[in-house]
Chain A
Amino acid sequence: MGDNPADRVSRRSFVKYSGAAGVTGALAGCSSNGGGGDGGDGSDGSDGSDGSDGSGSSDGSDGSDAPDEVIIGSNHPLSGALSNTGERMDQAVKLAAMIKNEAGGIESLDGAELSVVSGDNEGAQELGGEVAQELIDEGASVLTGCYSSPVTSAATRTAESAGVPFVISVSVANSILQETQLNYAYRPQPPANQMAVDHARLLADAIRGAGEEIETAGLFYIDISFGQSVRDALREELPANDIEIVAETAYEPGDTADTQVTTLRDADPDAVIATTYRSGTIELVNAMNNQNYQPKYVTGCSNAAMNDVSALEEMGDTVEGGFATNFALDPTSDAAGEVRSRFESEFETSFDANVAMTYAATQVIIAAIEEAGSADPDDINDALGEITVEDHIAAMPPITFADNGENENSLAPLFQVQDLRDRVVAPEEFAEADVQF
């Protein structure tokens, strides 16, 4: 299973000797032990080979009491269909480590540096566990990932068997943590049922609070695992908030949304709630335009498109005034805003909710390492079980984990699209704007 040092030696050596250039980020090892202070750039996947590569990567337990570095494993889709998001999430992890290192590293470990090793799970289930194992072999004391739910489920179970804590960056399916008891897995973000709870509640309150009505809803969901999970949760939460579901339409990637919109037209709900990826929402809007259909409210529940400025601009007036629920960057926090600017200038790429959540998850990891004062996975795991993290950039109360690993205070705030930008409007403590009609 990779405890054998020969494994580490052999694989890296082989790839190096076979002259396969370009093996940079994915599997290249962490910076070698002796060097220590090359500071600054958060040492990610750059080779760091100073001639002694392969001679055993540091894993924090090499005899000296306070390790020089603590390794975080980042398990994200760096290639394939999800790579656009996956790469930026990976960069968020690196940024968090970088900023902490700039602030002096882990204080309780005498300024030990954080380094990040990244693995590419390609969005494939079979690779989720394998990449997690590879990262553990490279010396990671704690892992994060994976964006795609089946990949995360595989990765967390591998981490569980290896006794290495896993703090999920983004992954929405309930079942990852709620089907069996995992002792080493944690999730800061709101899972699918929490998204539905928050969406139904905040949407109903916001609309009724402003004196308007909402009685019926129609669902438009992508017919894969996360879409079905959110749909199932909404089936409970919407009626609990006195909203009746009058239509459910499923969307397959690659379809046009014409038939679904006709069905929704026929049912005439007050609100159309969309749970898809970006292109699905764009197809929905196109189809709505083609049929001149504009429901009273267009909303997104766990829908990245409604928080993506470029997508909002593409969709235009149809979504103006619409609502969305998703985890988010805290718009009322200056520190959060600074992180965002830093990210955009450092990586020259867009910052979105997934990046924010990944960054926050890494902040949780860092806080746990500080608390544990150790690079040992079990110590960090214990710290994660006890800790309450106030200092994070996500729009939710302080993060603390229940027995099953879910964040007790997870929250998906409500946004409204105003002037084609998404603004948090509820709950009040995170609101940056008022609801407009």
Chain B
Amino acid sequence: MLSSFFLDACGREAAAVVGALDATAAPAVLGLSLPSPTIFAQYFVFAVLLGGIYGLVALGLTMIFGVMDVINFAHGALMVVAMYTVLVFSDATGLSPFFAIPFAVVLLFAFGVAIYRSTIAPIIDAPQENQLIVTFGVLLILVSGVEMIFGADPQQLGLNLGSLELSGVFVPRGQLYALVIALIALSGTWLFLQRTMLGRAIRGTADNRDGAQYVGIDVPRIDALTFGIGAALAGLAGGVIPLFQSFTPALGDQYLINAFVVVVLGGLGSFPGAFVGGLIIGFIQVFGQAYLGGSTYQIVIFLAFILVLLVKPEGLLGGSADE
């Protein structure tokens, strides 16, 4: 029954997957068909926390995507730079990582502007594929650079922040802080975009690049700024990750894939959309991990992605459609 639904919507390979899932996931599913409320609530908590992280990761991406129509493949790599910056800063100064994070954000902003000016500005009007290649080149350089300096072994801050407990449901503090920071970032950026001159200029450019130029907005400068902010947001996302997990130079790209899904799901250029999309993906991932075998949840994520692209490509909260 489930098979035929997928068959209609998405093609035969999905049906094969569902068929095979029964065989592979039987042990996992059978044992957990009726979770206790505590366990269910625990999954719920993790889904929200993960969703918040995804939302934060997607913020910078959606901003650059929305304003400049550039897919920043280096977004994950920028996150990685921030992760290691936090590591180095904490080790070097002995201060709490919470001081390292703002430092990483500022550093990444500068990085972003520099990268924009040197590699993207020259080709902003070139075919889209060229921008893709260039940001990919930046990705290679950044990730390799980090690997050359720090090696590829996983690192961690070893914070052991523990968790809050609310009647049997645990909320790990590291992720909680990350979620709080994410929400602050969301509000801060939203306020910036809505209430400041610069913010309005950015939004104007996002809506209508040519029009913005006609009313006197210095579009190249806005672009540089936007890219810098996008990178800074990547820096924030990368900066909070060491609070709750170990990281390697490859971690950024792993978040990146789902971040693309989040961005499209939520809507290009929509900040609340990034969090809505993030939550959806967070829920699919957590409950998918719990109830489907292996990494099958990722298949569901991609199917959802394709569905949204077909049915509402501007995303759930998106404004105008493609182009």
A and B touch in the complex (CB under 8 A): yes
Query: Interface residues, chain A, CB within 8 Å of chain B?
Result: 80-84, 223, 245-250, 252-256, 258-260, 262-263, 265-267, 278-279, 282-283, 286-287, 289-292, 314
- Starting from the known contacts A80-B152, A287-B172, 14 additional A-B residue pairs (CB-CB under 8 Å) come to A81-B250, A245-B27, A247-B32, A250-B289, A252-B295, A253-B248, A256-B175, A258-B172, A259-B43, A259-B290, A262-B39, A279-B246, A282-B154, A314-B158
User: Which of the residues B46, B151, B285 comes within 8 Å of A262, measured between beta carbons?
Assistant: B46
Interface flags for B18-47 (1: CB within 8 Å of A; 0: not) read 000000000110011001100100110010
- Contacting pair A283 B28 (CB below 8 A): no
- Contacting pair A290 B170 (CB below 8 A): yes
- Contacting pair B154 A279 (CB below 8 A): yes
Q: How far does the Cβ of A233 sit from chain B's closest Cβ, in whole Å?
A: 15
Q: Answer yes or no: B244 CB below 8 A from chain A CBs.
A: yes
A266 neighbours in B (Cβ, 8 Å): 32, 35-36, 39
Q: How far does the Cβ of A267 sit from chain B's closest Cβ, in whole Å?
A: 6
A82 neighbours in B (Cβ, 8 Å): 152
A291 to B46 CA separation, bound complex (whole angstroms) = 11
B46 neighbours in A (Cβ, 8 Å): 258-259, 262
Across the interface, name the chain B residue whose C-beta is closest to A265.
Answer: B39
User: Which of the residues B27, B36, B245 comes within 8 Å of A248, measured between beta carbons?
Assistant: B27
- Contacting pair B163 A263 (CB below 8 A): no
- Contacting pair A289 B244 (CB below 8 A): no
Across the interface, name the chain A residue whose C-beta is closest to B174.
Answer: A290
- Contacting pair B152 A83 (CB below 8 A): yes
A248 to B28 CA separation, bound complex (whole angstroms) = 6
A378 to B295 CA separation, bound complex (whole angstroms) = 45
Q: Answer yes or no: B160 CB below 8 A from chain A CBs.
A: yes
Across the interface, name the chain A residue whose C-beta is closest to B28.
Answer: A248
A283 to B244 CA separation, bound complex (whole angstroms) = 9
A289 to B286 CA separation, bound complex (whole angstroms) = 19
Interface hits, B264-323 → A, CB 8 Å: 285-286, 289-290, 293-295
A300 to B24 CA separation, bound complex (whole angstroms) = 23
A258 to B282 CA separation, bound complex (whole angstroms) = 13
Interface flags for B127-150 (1: CB within 8 Å of A; 0: not) read 000000000000000000000000
Q: How far does the Cβ of B50 sit from chain A's closest Cβ, in whole Å?
A: 8
Query: Interface residues, chain B, CB within 8 Å of chain A?
Result: 27-28, 31-32, 35-36, 39, 42-43, 46, 151-154, 156, 158, 160, 162-163, 165, 170, 172, 175, 244-246, 248, 250-251, 254-255, 285-286, 289-290, 293-295
A67 to B28 CA separation, bound complex (whole angstroms) = 60
A266 to B172 CA separation, bound complex (whole angstroms) = 18
- Contacting pair A263 B295 (CB below 8 A): no
Q: How far does the Cβ of A317 sit from chain B's closest Cβ, in whole Å?
A: 12
B156 neighbours in A (Cβ, 8 Å): 279, 282
A246 neighbours in B (Cβ, 8 Å): 31
User: Which of the residues A254, A267, A278, A292 comes within 8 Å of B254, measured between beta carbons?
Assistant: A254
A-B residue pairs in contact (CB < 8 Å), sample of 29: A80-B152, A81-B248, A83-B151, A223-B294, A248-B293, A249-B289, A250-B294, A252-B254, A253-B250, A254-B250, A254-B254, A254-B255, A258-B172, A259-B289, A259-B290, A262-B42, A262-B46, A263-B32, A263-B289, A266-B32, A266-B35, A266-B39, A279-B156, A282-B156, A283-B245, A283-B246, A290-B162, A290-B172, A292-B170
Across the interface, name the chain A residue whose C-beta is closest to B43.
Answer: A262
A252 to B255 CA separation, bound complex (whole angstroms) = 12
Q: How far does the Cβ of B258 sit from chain A's closest Cβ, in whole Å?
A: 11
- Contacting pair B154 A278 (CB below 8 A): yes
Q: How far does the Cβ of B168 sit from chain A's closest Cβ, in whole Å?
A: 10
A125 to B28 CA separation, bound complex (whole angstroms) = 32
Q: How far does the Cβ of B41 sit from chain A's closest Cβ, in whole Å?
A: 10
A84 to B150 CA separation, bound complex (whole angstroms) = 12
Across the interface, name the chain A residue whose C-beta is closest to B296.
Answer: A250
User: Which of the residues A223, A245, A283 comes within 8 Å of B295, measured between beta carbons?
Assistant: A223
A254 neighbours in B (Cβ, 8 Å): 248, 250-251, 254-255
- Contacting pair A247 B152 (CB below 8 A): no
A120 to B172 CA separation, bound complex (whole angstroms) = 41
A290 to B251 CA separation, bound complex (whole angstroms) = 22
B246 neighbours in A (Cβ, 8 Å): 279, 282-283
A290 neighbours in B (Cβ, 8 Å): 162-163, 170, 172
Across the interface, name the chain A residue whose C-beta is closest to B35.
Answer: A266
A262 neighbours in B (Cβ, 8 Å): 39, 42-43, 46, 290
Q: How far does the Cβ of B8 sit from chain A's closest Cβ, in whole Å?
A: 29
- Contacting pair A256 B245 (CB below 8 A): yes
A253 to B255 CA separation, bound complex (whole angstroms) = 11
A47 to B204 CA separation, bound complex (whole angstroms) = 63
A286 to B43 CA separation, bound complex (whole angstroms) = 17
User: Which of the residues A223, A245, A247, A291 comes within 8 Å of B163, measured between beta carbons?
Assistant: A291
A314 neighbours in B (Cβ, 8 Å): 158
Across the interface, name the chain A residue whose C-beta is closest to B152.
Answer: A81
A249 neighbours in B (Cβ, 8 Å): 28, 289
A299 to B160 CA separation, bound complex (whole angstroms) = 22
A248 to B153 CA separation, bound complex (whole angstroms) = 26
A267 to B28 CA separation, bound complex (whole angstroms) = 10
A290 to B151 CA separation, bound complex (whole angstroms) = 28
Q: Known contacts A290-B170, A292-B165; decide if A250 and B152 are in contact (CB<8 Å).
A: no
Across the interface, name the chain B residue whose C-beta is closest to A257.
Answer: B245
A11 to B175 CA separation, bound complex (whole angstroms) = 52
- Contacting pair A247 B172 (CB below 8 A): no
B251 neighbours in A (Cβ, 8 Å): 254
A258 to B255 CA separation, bound complex (whole angstroms) = 17
Q: How far does the Cβ of B240 sit from chain A's closest Cβ, in whole Å?
A: 13
Q: How far does the Cβ of B67 sit from chain A's closest Cβ, in whole Å?
A: 29
Across the interface, name the chain A residue whose C-beta is closest to B291.
Answer: A263
A265 to B289 CA separation, bound complex (whole angstroms) = 14
Across the interface, name the chain B residue whose C-beta is closest to A221.
Answer: B294
Q: How far does the Cβ of A318 sit from chain B's closest Cβ, in whole Å?
A: 11
A259 to B295 CA separation, bound complex (whole angstroms) = 13
Q: How far does the Cβ of A350 sit from chain B's closest Cβ, in whole Å?
A: 13
